[in-house]
Amino acid sequence: MFDNLSDRLEGAFKSLTGDNKITEINVATSLKEIRRALVAADVNYKIAKEFTDKVKEKALGTENVLKAVKPGQLMVKIVQDELTDLMGGQSVGINVKGEPGVVLIAGLQGSGKTTFSGKLAKYLKEKRKMKVLLTACDVYRPAAIDQLTVLAGQVGAEIYKEPENKNPVEIALKAIDFARQNKFDVVIVDTAGRLSVDEKMMQEISDVREAISPNETLFVVDSMTGQDAVNTAKAFNERINYDGVVLTKLDGDTRGGAALSVKYTVGKPIKFVSTGEKMDAIDVFYPDRMAQRILG
Ligand code: GDP
């Protein structure tokens, strides 16, 4: 995860370590390398430029790198703080309050929605001691219902499904009713995706959202798709104004561009990351820990 970025950033601090005399030129070289590292990680140039401008301001401001005993270390700290800020600063939790709480899961087909729905059910059951109902609202792919049924069995959650019903709004409403009557704490609604953003999918997901007024709408996106992930995140946000982002397949993402740019571009926090196919490969997203990890 983020291997290339970590390596390149390490290289960027080279001119500020060792026996080098620290000058504005070394600092400028270092900043340029940091910018290149971000662009190579698939971060949009404008974001990378703004990032290094902020780092420069700090590095030559009150915490002056030129006067520091260990300029390299100070620069690493400044970059780490700015990376934390770029990824949202504070960790933002999921809101599942309600009787029942309702979580709507949206995203493209193949992004990892169904897998994440299972993981979230396990997380809420184990960490929050909640009684969880999973709901299958992908009315186009019978295999999606089967997949969610298998996952529900694996994580010990119940599932609500109506394989004959082709109306996702109706299924979701009935699932919430069922949950209310049977004292479930939370309902997770897994929806249909398509291979790319299209009007029919957007209309369907916004109809479901309007009908069920979820406490939390999470947008799931494959981090390995880089800039595309950020563009898709933007398109969904414009239509359904979701509350948070789930980045999946971070285990295979060696660049990290989506993790670094999505908060800046869309203004919504990353709430969870998914790092594998197993049901416990889910983590709450902490920007500071991620920044620390990137810088090794
Ligand atoms: P959906 O169409 O959005 O519901 O996507 P799925 O949940 O069916 O996931 C698509 C594929 O990605 C499946 O083969 C999953 O096992 C895989 N997958 C999901 N999340 C992750 C992840 O975090 N890491 C890896 N490596 N694979 C994942």
Over the stretch 121-160, which tens digit does the pLDDT of each residue have?
Answer: 999 999 999 999 999 999 998 899 999 999 999 999 999 9
Structure-model confidence comparison of residues 271 and 4, the more confident one: 271
Rounded to 5 degrees, φ, ψ at 125 are -70, -45
Distance of CA 194 to the CA centre of its chain: 19
If you measure from the C-alpha of residue 119 to the centroid of ligand 1, how many angstroms do you get, rounded to a whole number? 11
In DSSP terms, 158 is beta-bridged to: 133
**What confidence tier does 296 reach under pLDDT thresholds 50, 70, 90?**
confident
32: its two tokens: 């340029």
- Measured distance CA(282)–CA(272) in Å, rounded: 7
Cα distances (angstroms) measured from residue 95 to each of 18, 51, 148, 243: 48, 31, 22, 9
For the question of an ipTM over 0.90, the answer is yes
Whether the per-residue pLDDT at 203 is higher than 80: the answer is: yes
- Measured distance CA(10)–CA(55) in Å, rounded: 16
Structure-model confidence comparison of residues 1 and 87, the more confident one: 87
- Structure confidence at residue 113 (pLDDT): 97
- Measured distance CA(109)–CA(112) in Å, rounded: 8
If you measure from the C-alpha of residue 148 to the centroid of ligand 1, how many angstroms do you get, rounded to a whole number? 12
**What confidence tier does 162 reach under pLDDT thresholds 50, 70, 90?**
very high
Identify the sign of the CA torsion 31, 36, 42, 43.
positive
- Structure confidence at residue 25 (pLDDT): 92
Atom of ligand 1 nearest to the CA of 273: 23
Sequence-ordered list of residues with C-beta below 8 angstroms from that of 288, at least 6 positions apart, any chain = 84
> Is 21 within 8 Å of 204 (Cβ atoms)?
no
What are the pLDDT digits (tens) for 29-39? 999 999 999 99
If you measure from the C-alpha of residue 115 to the centroid of ligand 1, how many angstroms do you get, rounded to a whole number? 6
Residue nearest to atom 19 of ligand 1 (CA): 112
- Structure confidence at residue 150 (pLDDT): 98
Residue to mutate (ligand 1; options 122, 277, 282; most atoms within 8 A of CB): 277
- Structure confidence at residue 15 (pLDDT): 87
Q: What is the mean pLDDT of the chain?
A: 95
